[in-house]
Structure 1
Amino acid sequence: ILEEVGSHVYPEPISVSDAYSNCNASYRVVANGTTTNTMFADIVDNVDAVLMHGPTTLYGSTSATAGADAVALENTTIADVYPLLYYGASATIGDSDLVPPLAHNDGDVGAFVAMTIELNAGSTEDSVIVVSGASPYGDYMPMSADEYYDVPLSGNIVKQTIDWSIDYLTATATTPTTTPGFTIDPVLLMGIAGVVVLVIIIAIVVKRR
């Protein structure tokens, strides 16, 4: 689905664990690094511990093709793609199946990218795509959780990402589709890479008169 909407970011077929930054088990990873890009300050405001339950890493594709032209987003820049959230420095990649990793290696340790935002996305270059290495909401224990095993968490990152994206699309929309009393802005796509599900949120903003 991510490829169909023109995403340059995809989930990698590996798992991430962290023996130090977690909620009482290494697979209940807590991502604790955020972007320093001031453009996204409102997204990461008061965010310092995000639950990533049984997560994966993300990789970039320079050709916007799943499984091809893969690069590690920790050290490679793709136009309009911005990492928002990182795993801790002790995060460890595990590859226990027959599908090889694409941009990392089994046993790698480091602050891998856990969540990205892509601007000017899609065929019309007027959408936003957010991809994360675990489910942002609606799963067993999503990124939106505020506490797990008595560990305080920054679940506010999910709502703040949606709010920021809607504001961005509203501000940059050039040819909105209108109906009486409403403006329907370009689509915000939030990819839940951990379970390979895509949620489409259409931002409907009351038209100012």
Structure 2
Amino acid sequence: KILAHGPGVIAWVDNPDGSGSWHQLKPNLKPQDAYVIVHSSNSSDITENNPPAGKAYSAGSTGQFPIIAVQIVTPKGKKPDVIIVSGETPIGGYEPMWTSEYYKVPLDGPQVISNIFAWSLEMTKKPETSSSSSGSGSSICGPALIVGLAALPLLLRKKRE
């Protein structure tokens, strides 16, 4: 169990330059090598609190929605890159997913977020496989930098205490 205090949902566009159509992220409709790793409960609902309206999901929809997704992209001849997309603040923010307790309810936030970062680092160590997706050949920022930036607020918070 983790806290998602008003998260956004994850959607995707079928053309990387942004001119394509927006889609809900579903197991049978998703980019290659993309996976939902955290989703809302089955009783979640979508509301529009600020304009503009969403392009893939509609206000009033209920059900289970993707909150964190990953895509593993392996540029030809290179090791995999892991892109993590989150509709909620993992670390920092008003009430982040990192929270270990909320109104005296114990949560698994620190373990879940740590597991996501550890897994993404392991994935970038794997050699290219024949079933991996092809990329544009340009490198993207790896998870090590994300982990470094994510840990910074924790270090600053500990200093203040």
**CA shift at 1:128, angstroms?**
0.7
Question: What's the counterpart of residue 10 of structure 2?
Answer: 58
Residue 59 (structure 2) aligned to one of 85, 103, 106: 106
**CA shift at 1:66, angstroms?**
4.7
**CA shift at 1:103, angstroms?**
0.6
Question: What's the counterpart of residue 167 of structure 1?
Answer: 122
Q: Greater strand share, 1 or 2?
A: 1
Return the letter of the residue paired with 1:119.
Answer: I
Q: How many residues align?
A: 135
Contact 1:187 / 1:201 at 8 angstroms: preserved in 2? Answer: no
Q: TM-score, length-normalised on structure 2?
A: 0.72
What is the alpha-carbon distance in structure 2 between the residues aligned to residue 98 and residue 159 of structure 1? 33
- Deviating 4+ runs (over 3 angstroms): 65-68, 121-126, 199-202
Unpaired runs of 5+ residues, structure 1, are 1-48, 175-185, 191-198, 203-209
Residue 150 (structure 1) aligned to one of 104, 112, 136: 104
The structure-2 alpha-carbon separation of the partners of 1:141 and 1:163, relative to structure 1 and needing over 3 Å to count, comes to: same
Question: What's the counterpart of residue 89 of structure 1?
Answer: 42
The structure-2 alpha-carbon separation of the partners of 1:56 and 1:121, relative to structure 1 and needing over 3 Å to count, comes to: farther
The structure-2 alpha-carbon separation of the partners of 1:53 and 1:67, relative to structure 1 and needing over 3 Å to count, comes to: farther
**CA shift at 1:132, angstroms?**
1.1
Q: How high is the sequence identity, in percent, across the aligned residues?
A: 26
Q: Greater helix share, 1 or 2?
A: 2
What is the alpha-carbon distance in structure 1 between the residues aligned to residue 74 and residue 47 of structure 2? 31
Deviation per residue, 1:42-73 (Å, 9 max, x gap): xxxxxxx1111121111011223457421001
Deviation per residue, 1:87-142 (Å, 9 max, x gap): 01111101133302111111000101111011016797831111111101122321
- Provide the aligned C-alpha RMSD in A: 2.8
Contact 1:121 / 1:129 at 8 angstroms: preserved in 2? Answer: no
What is the alpha-carbon distance in structure 2 between the residues aligned to residue 96 and residue 142 of structure 1? 19
What is the alpha-carbon distance in structure 2 between the residues aligned to residue 121 and residue 158 of structure 1? 23
Contact 1:50 / 1:143 at 8 angstroms: preserved in 2? Answer: yes
The structure-2 alpha-carbon separation of the partners of 1:97 and 1:138, relative to structure 1 and needing over 3 Å to count, comes to: closer
What is the alpha-carbon distance in structure 2 between the residues aligned to residue 103 and residue 67 of structure 1? 14
